[in-house]
Amino acid sequence: ASMGRTTVELFYDVISPYSWLAFEVLCRYRNIWNMDLRFRPAFLGGIMQQTGNKPPAMLPKRGEYLLKDMKRMAKYYQVPLRISADAFQHIMGTSSLTAMRFITAIDMTHPQYLEPLTREFWMRFWSQHEDISQPENILAVAQQAGLSAELSQKALEMISTPTVKDRLKETTAEALKYGAFGMPAVVAHYDGKPHLFFGSDRLELLGSVIGEKWLGPVPS
């Protein structure tokens, strides 16, 4: 890391809509704040299981609130997240494991595609309400993100290898080590120690801790 820059890690899973909000805002602040932003694709299912966490929507009142909250947050954060009434069934009926392994494979081989690829997964699942778990849909996302058919095919073959499976497990374990219990988990390495922030609505606090000014969700 360059002198005096704060490393900020974003542990995310594309099944998590709040992770998308945090991702876009941190991307906007990348050149405003004195920080090195690191994307850390991890597996939310593993984090929930390891910590005994339950999806918030399992509490009906909270679920009702979350639908409204996500709508407001999407508008405030200017992210094209479109919430459907059956958003939670959509999440519960989808495993993001294959997608996160695919993203991990690309991170390991062609990291320059990590950001656009990840964004396309969110676009497809949270904006277009399309499937992201089947191989043909994963390839469609990759194509949309500018990856060649050859590269995507290679990455798809890698997802069943121990190398990729282990890397995703390791990243997920690292998030847990920092105290994560859900996503997004943002870890700022400042003053010689890691600081964990949970959710997309703590970025103002993150700025304050690392000595940076918050200029709203869409800094000009």
Residue 205 CA: distances (Å) to CA of 107, 200, 212 = 28, 11, 9
179 with 1: CB under 8 angstroms?
Answer: no
Residues with a catalytic annotation lie at 16
Q: How far is Cα 129 from Cα 194, in angstroms, rounded to an integer?
A: 35
Containing 196, the helix (H) or strand (E) segment is strand 193-198
194: helix, coil or strand? strand
- What is the token pair recorded at 105? 């494979």
Half-sphere exposure of 128 (CA within 13 A, CB side): 12
